[in-house]
Amino acid sequence: MWSAATSASRLSVYNQPAATVVAAALPATIELTLLAMLIVLFAVNLHWLPTSGIGTWQDLVLPTLTLPALLYPQVALLTRAVQIGLKLPV
């Protein structure tokens, strides 16, 4: 069975820069994909929010939901770790 632990242990010195680039680009890709899906859902299908614009509060709803979306799981994991008493790396 191929897992992340075995693939991480088999990374050579030459593959580490590629892994760094992928790790840096993945969060941005996920965030842009989430934003596109939210625009399709709320602006195109449901017609609740505008697809773009400046001036009203409705223009700020989708960016406000999307930008911190990647931080929510990290905050949840840290909160859980603190509550159960795990030692966090410094």
Tens-digit pLDDT profile for residues 74-85: 888 788 888 888
pLDDT of residue 48: 92
Q: How many domains does the chain have?
A: 1
Q: What is the pTM of this model?
A: 0.57
Say if residues 11 and 23 touch (Cβ distance below 8 Å): no
Q: Write the DSSP string, 66-78.
A: HGGGGHHHHHHHH
Structural domain contains residue 90: no
**What is the rounded distance in angstroms from the CA atom of residue 39 to the CA atom of residue 50?**
8
Say if residues 38 and 66 touch (Cβ distance below 8 Å): yes
Provide the domain limits for residue 47.
4-84
pLDDT of residue 1: 46
**% helix, strand, coil for the chain, step of 5:** 70, 0, 30
Structural domain contains residue 55: yes
Structural domain contains residue 44: yes
pLDDT of residue 69: 80
Tens-digit pLDDT profile for residues 14-49: 556 777 777 777 777 877 888 889 889 999 999 999
pLDDT of residue 4: 53
